[in-house]
Every structure is written in structure tokens, then in C-alpha cells.
Amino acid sequence: MQCSPARLRAVPPALTVKPRLVRHLLLTVLMLVLMLGCGYAGYHLSKAFGIRALAENGERQLELNARAVESEITKYTYLPSLLELNDDVRRLLQTPSAYRRQRVNDYLEGLNGRSGSLATYVLDTSGRVLATSNWREPSSFLGEDLSFRAYFQDAVQGKPGRFYGIGSTTGEPGYYLAHGLKSNGRIIGVAVVKVRLDSLEQRWQRARLEAYVSDENGIIILSSDPARRLKAVHPLGPNTRERLARSLQYHWWALEELQPLARRALGDGIEQVSFAATRAAGQAPEAIDYLAQTRPLDDTPWHLTLLTPLQDQHRAAMSHAILAAVALALLAFLLIAWNERRKVIATRLAAREALEQANNELERKITERTADLQASNQRLQAEVRERQQAETTLRQAQDELVQAGKLAVIGQMSTSIAHELNQPLAALRTLSGNTVRFLQRGALDVASSNLQTINELVDRMGKITGSLRAFARRSDAGGEASLNQAVDAALLLLQPRQGQRALQIHRDYLHEQADTRLAIDQIRLEQILVNLIANALDAMGEQEDRQLWLSGRDEGARYLLTVRDNGPGIAPDARVHLFEPFFTTKPGEKGLGLGLTLSASLAAAASGSLTVQHPESGGTAFELSLPKPAPHRETSAHE
């Protein structure tokens, strides 16, 4: 599949999110979630364990307090039955009279004072109060009909009458204990003792204990908090409400329900409830959680409920939650730090390993390269030796070639040279013959003039052979040459080839009549010039107008000599082959095709060059560029 370039285009930098940043963000979020989770779990665990511990402790407290409540109640149970033993009471019940009533009133007053109860009184079987300990008080209920009271109804039937209620006359709450008084196995009346139980409440308040006792109707009759007193712990049905109202058990109390803000059962007799705390007016109610533990009280239909505040537990759970979250964070940080350290160590180890590997690899490569270099060095040395040998061979071959070239030129010129020598020889022969005859005749003037001419001819022949000998001599690389001498020698050597036609030679290289010195062997320079001038002469042949320009130009460290003719020039297809060995356009033995090749190689051997130009005006121009010799030192110039 091929992706279009547009699809491969990089996302703009602003939109790219570095993966490292994303990882860190995710890690932070994960950490926060874990911390919250751990805190939440810590909170609930701590709370569960705390509640369990509180419940165990509460169980003991409940037991202790239940026993205290039971003993407080049972303390008075014997009291009403005691009245059965009193004869005055019995007589009053059997045959009531004012005198007997007063006696019993006095007795009950004394008894009540000693037992610390609220009131002690005796009722006949119809429920009317016959005598009472509070007969002196205005709120006395002497003569009142209390047959509606449940404790009377129970006691008159021979059952123990237990009743908590609010006095219908006094409006004072109390615990009523009633006992059916018997005579000869028959119930003749009912004795009632009303006791106060608020000492229990005071004891709870002093001990900062929150507790309440609910009676058989579910009405709180005793409470450490007065606000909860006479409230129903569970909803009361309309029938119950009506029954209770009729019995006046709680006088005219509204019997509101004790409404917890929340309630949650935790087990048998244990629940978690929250009540609104009483606060100053205008302030929102604050919910306080309690652990409510309830237990029935022995010998009564009542229940004792102990309320243990869970505030401390909440606080402890909260601190445990924070501790758990912090511990987790610490652990996570330790883990992250450990992981980072592990990564750093791993990276370092990997880097060290990679370094070692790279080092080994490098050493291996160095060894290989060294071996390679040694091999190539040996190869190069061998090559250098070969090259040196080849150069020596080449130089020898070049020398041989130069020599051969020179000999070839001489060979080419041999006919002309022979012709050139034959002419003076023939002249010499004629002149010598004539001279002999003139001497015989005594014409000494003519003879001496002939001898003069003979001398000149011999000189000329000597010059020709001398220059030939000099040209044929072996030459060396290096050395210094005089340009004037070289041109003269070349022209002299080529004189026999100059032909019959007029030849105009322009010598423009002379510089203020001073000789020009060039850094090349004299013979070699002559040979180059012989080749170039001979080619020019050959090209011009027997044409009418023959011009040869020898012009020079000083170019600083070098000197440029141009040999130009006004011959026919060189054909374009021949131009590229000019400097190739054995390229010639000359017929038969006239051309060898080595002249330009040799000349160029002689110029190059002297660090010079030979190039060809084809002027638009016609003819051919060869440019010979040669270095000038290094200037002589001042001292040597004076010597």
C-alpha cells in the first residue's frame, strides 16, 4: 500500500503531545485515583474495625448499666407487699373508718419518708385511694379513683403491677409498683409505691453517658438527654395512641416520635443512628452519628439503649484514610523512584555494554584497517617501484626516441644535405682545377681570389656538417638554452630545405637585442624549433608568398614563443590527431609523424607545453611555452 505524501505530512507541532507528558499525566491521574481508593478503603476498614471495637466496649457498658437500672428498679419491688403485714391497713380495707384512715395515712407517711419513694398509698378493690402518704399535701390524691390505672388493674387481679407514668394529680413522672393485698386468700385492696428513677438519669449525665430506657410502649421514660424524654422510639399506631391517651399514662404528653436523621441496622440490637445535635437558633442542625446498642431489662418489658458517639471514630477513620493515602503515595513514590533508578542502572549497563561492543568493534575494524593499510602500503610501494622502473624505462625510451627523431630528421634532410654539400664540392672541384691553371699561367690574383672562395666554401661545408653533428649529439634533460642560438642553428640546419622561392622570416622574439634564456637543454630546444620550422616550410611548400613569424612574449616566469606560417593550415579532421605519434599527412619517406609528438614531450619534460592555434587569417601557429631559468644569485653574476 502506498501512502500519499499528504498523508505522510507531519502533524503540526502545536498538535503533537509528547508521549512522556501523556505518561506522566496518566501516572498522576492513576496515583490520585489509587490514593482516593486507598483512602476510601482505609476509611471504611478503620470505621468497621473501630465500630466493632466500640460495639464490644459498648456491650460491656450496656451490661453494666442494665444491671444498674435493674437493681434500681428491683430495689422497691418488695415495698408494696410489706403493707400486707400491717394490721391497720388490712382493717382499713375491710372496714374503712376516718380513724383507721388517719392511722394508715400516718403510717404510710412515715414509711414513704424512710424508703425515699415519691408516694405510698392504698386503694380498695374499686380503685379508690383509701390512704396515702401525701395526705397533707394539696396535691394529695386521697379519695381519688385510680381504677383506670393499668398497675391497679394488674394488681387487683393478683399480678404484679409495674407501670411508669405521669401522675394524673401531681403531673410528676414516676415508677409505680402495685401489689394486690390479700386476706384469707382474697384480694382486699392494692398497695402502690411510686418511686422516682431520675437518679439514674443524673448518674448517666455525670458519667457523660448517653442512654435511655424505653418502656413497653416504646416511650422513652428515662434519658440522659432530657430532650429525648417521653418520645416514642418507634411510630405509634392510632389505636395505641388512643389507648395511651385514655390511660393517661403519660398525662397529656404529645408523645412525638424520636426521629433519627439516618438509621442503619448493624446487627442484632446494634444500629447506627444519627441525631440532629441541638444547636443555637438559626444554625443548621448538625448530624451526630451514634452506635445504638439495645438490650431488654430483666423482669421488666423495658429496654435500655446505650448511645456511643461515633465522632471520634469518624475522626480516627479519616486520619487512617489520610494515612493510608499518604502511605500509598509514599509507596508509589518509592516504587517510581526504584523503577527510575532501575531504569537508569539498566540504561547505564546497556550503554556500557554498547560502549564495550563499539570498542571491540572499533578495535576489530582498526586491526582490519591496519592490515588493509599495510597491504595497500606494500602494494603502493610495489607500484611506486614499478612506476619508478617504468619512468626510467620511459625516459630511456624517450631519449632513444629523441635520438631516433633527430636521426630521422637528418635522414629526411640527407638528400638536401648531400645536395647542399655537392654544390660546394662541385664548385670546389671546378675552382681548384681553375686555380691550378691560373697558377700555371701566373695569374696569381685570380688564383688567390679562387682560393679565397674555396676557403669560404669549405667553411660553409664545415658549418653544415658541424651543425649536423651537434644536432645528432645526445641531449640531456634540464640545462639552459639561448633562444637566439637555437633559432640560428635551426634555420642553418634547415637552410637546404628552404627551397627556391623567397622566404620572409620575421624575428619578433628579440627583446632589446638581449638574448632570451630558457630552462631547457640547448639541443632539445633546437630540435623542437627544427621540427616546427621544418613543418612550416613543408606546409608552405612552393607557394608564392612564404612568410614565417617567430614571435616571443615574456609572461613572467614563463616565455611564450609562437612559430607561425601562412601556409594552408591544418584540415579540421587532422587537428585532433596532430600530437599522436606516427600521424602524418606527408607522402612517403618525407613524413614520420613523430615531430610534434617528440616536440610536445620535450616541452613537457622541461615543464613547458606545446599547443596549436589556427588563426582566422590563415596558416598555423604553434605556441611553445617554456619556463625561464631561476635568476642567478648576485654573487655569481659578479664572478
**In one letter, which amino acid is 255?**
L
Question: What cell was used for 318?
Answer: 479519616
Binding segment for ligand ADP (CB under 6 A), chosen from 19-27, 242-250, 543-551, 576-584, is 576-584
Nearest approach, Cβ of residue 597 and ligand ADP (Å): 6
**Dist. CA 42–CA 316, nearest whole Å:** 10
| Closer residue to ligand ADP in complex, CB, 425/570 | 570
- Helix (H) or strand (E) holding 175, with range, is strand 173-183
Residues 6+ apart with CB under 8 A from 299: 70, 73, 74
Stated length of the chain: 639
| Closer residue to ligand ADP in complex, CB, 235/411 | 411
Question: What cell was used for 467?
Answer: 651543425
553 near ligand ADP, rule: CB under 6 A: no
Nearest approach, Cβ of residue 412 and ligand ADP (Å): 8
585 near ligand ADP, rule: CB under 6 A: yes
Nearest approach, Cβ of residue 450 and ligand ADP (Å): 41
| Closer residue to ligand ADP in complex, CB, 155/490 | 490
134 near ligand ADP, rule: CB under 6 A: no
484 near ligand ADP, rule: CB under 6 A: no
Nearest approach, Cβ of residue 413 and ligand ADP (Å): 12
596 near ligand ADP, rule: CB under 6 A: yes
Select from 565, 600, 603, 624 the one that contacts ligand ADP (CB under 6 A).
565
As to burial, measured by CB atoms within 10 angstroms (0-12 exposed, 13-18 middle, 19+ buried), residue 633 is exposed
548 near ligand ADP, rule: CB under 6 A: no
Binding segment for ligand ADP (CB under 6 A), chosen from 64-72, 94-102, 208-216, 583-591, is 583-591
Residues 6+ apart with CB under 8 A from 91: 100
530 near ligand ADP, rule: CB under 6 A: no
Select from 214, 620, 624, 626 the one that contacts ligand ADP (CB under 6 A).
620
Binding segment for ligand ADP (CB under 6 A), chosen from 65-73, 263-271, 413-421, 580-588, is 580-588
Nearest approach, Cβ of residue 539 and ligand ADP (Å): 3
Helix, strand, coil share of the chain (percent; to 5)? 55, 20, 25
Select from 241, 460, 517, 586 the one that contacts ligand ADP (CB under 6 A).
586
Are 313 and 54 a contacting pair, CB within 8 Å? yes
Binding segment for ligand ADP (CB under 6 A), chosen from 124-132, 395-403, 508-516, 592-600, is 592-600
Select from 73, 539, 606, 624 the one that contacts ligand ADP (CB under 6 A).
539
Nearest approach, Cβ of residue 606 and ligand ADP (Å): 19
Binding segment for ligand ADP (CB under 6 A), chosen from 31-39, 199-207, 287-295, 564-572, is 564-572
Task: Name the 3-class secondary structure at 151.
Answer: helix
Strands 620-627 and 286-296: unpaired
592 near ligand ADP, rule: CB under 6 A: yes
Nearest approach, Cβ of residue 615 and ligand ADP (Å): 11
65 near ligand ADP, rule: CB under 6 A: no
**Dist. CA 533–CA 526, nearest whole Å:** 10
**Dist. CA 392–CA 388, nearest whole Å:** 6
Query: Quick one: three-class SS letters along 76-134?
Result: CCCHHHHHHHCHHHHHHHHCCCHHHHHHHHHHHHHHHHHHCCCEEEEEECCCEEEEECC
Select from 39, 58, 496, 567 the one that contacts ligand ADP (CB under 6 A).
567
| Closer residue to ligand ADP in complex, CB, 167/567 | 567
- Residue 490: name the closest of 537, 457, 542 by CA: 537
The DSSP annotation for 501-531 comes to: S-EEEEEE--BTTBPPEESS-HHHHHHHHHH
584 near ligand ADP, rule: CB under 6 A: yes
Question: What cell was used for 377?
Answer: 602500503
Q: Which residue's C-alpha cell is 624549433? A: 529
**Dist. CA 550–CA 473, nearest whole Å:** 25
| Closer residue to ligand ADP in complex, CB, 324/536 | 536
Select from 160, 309, 499, 591 the one that contacts ligand ADP (CB under 6 A).
591
Nearest approach, Cβ of residue 484 and ligand ADP (Å): 22
413 near ligand ADP, rule: CB under 6 A: no
Select from 189, 496, 595, 608 the one that contacts ligand ADP (CB under 6 A).
595
Nearest approach, Cβ of residue 582 and ligand ADP (Å): 8
Nearest approach, Cβ of residue 483 and ligand ADP (Å): 20
| Cα four-point dihedral sign 283, 287, 290, 294 | positive
- Residue 320: name the closest of 73, 63, 45, 114 by CA: 45
536 near ligand ADP, rule: CB under 6 A: yes
Residue 549, phi then psi, degrees to nearest 5: -105, 130
| Closer residue to ligand ADP in complex, CB, 240/403 | 403
Binding segment for ligand ADP (CB under 6 A), chosen from 132-140, 230-238, 591-599, 603-611, is 591-599
User: Which of positions 84-123 make contact with ligand ADP (CB under 6 A)?
Assistant: none
527 near ligand ADP, rule: CB under 6 A: no
The DSSP annotation for 277-318 comes to: EP--TTSPPEEEEEEEEEEEPTTSS-EEEEEEE-HHHHHHHH
Binding segment for ligand ADP (CB under 6 A), chosen from 160-168, 422-430, 463-471, 588-596, is 588-596
Nearest approach, Cβ of residue 563 and ligand ADP (Å): 8
Contact mark string toward ligand ADP, 487..516, x via CB under 6 A: ------------------------------
Question: What cell was used for 157?
Answer: 387481679
| Closer residue to ligand ADP in complex, CB, 95/617 | 617
Are 486 and 531 a contacting pair, CB within 8 Å? no
Binding segment for ligand ADP (CB under 6 A), chosen from 158-166, 314-322, 518-526, 582-590, is 582-590
Binding segment for ligand ADP (CB under 6 A), chosen from 121-129, 368-376, 421-429, 533-541, is 533-541
253 near ligand ADP, rule: CB under 6 A: no
Binding segment for ligand ADP (CB under 6 A), chosen from 52-60, 319-327, 595-603, 628-636, is 595-603
The DSSP annotation for 350-386 comes to: HHHHHHHHHHHHHHHHHHHHHHHHHHHHHHHHHHHHH
Question: What cell was used for 400?
Answer: 632513444
Give the other-Cβ count within 10 Å of 31's Cβ: 15
**Dist. CA 111–CA 104, nearest whole Å:** 10
**Dist. CA 561–CA 262, nearest whole Å:** 126
Question: What cell was used for 63?
Answer: 451490661
User: What are the residues binding ligand ADP (CB under 6 A)?
Assistant: 531, 535-536, 539, 565, 567, 570, 578, 583-586, 591-597, 620
